[in-house]
Amino acid sequence: MNCPECSNPDYDSNEVCSQCGLDLSQSNWVVISTVSPPDDVLMESLIESFGIPVRLIHSLGSVFGLSVGPLGEVKLAVPEVYAARAKELLRAELEESKPEE
């Protein structure tokens, strides 16, 4: 993954960027959306395609193979500094995917 600040191609989000010093381990991660599978993987891919690190937080139900309802929900979390941009991307994606009337 490229560094979201300086586009360093050797960046690992679990370490400090060797070029700009970005350290996401010191950042607060915030939940920007709660979705059900398979939308979790699609939204993760969308957010990452814009260079924003994302984490999926699976509910307890995933341990038992549940993928619907509250026990199957997955939370999407991003570093706080990217939350507004990630929410904007998700909103745009949802508007684009709405069927036209």
Q: Please report which confidence band the pLDDT of residue 100 belongs to, taking 50, 70 and 90 as the band edges.
A: low
User: What integer best gives the mean pLDDT of the chain?
Assistant: 85
Q: How much is the pTM?
A: 0.75
The helix/strand/coil state of 76 is strand
pLDDT tens for 37-80 read 888 899 999 999 988 889 999 888 877 777 777 788 999 999 99
Reading phi first (left if > 0) and then psi (alpha if -120 to 50, else beta), residue 21 is in: left
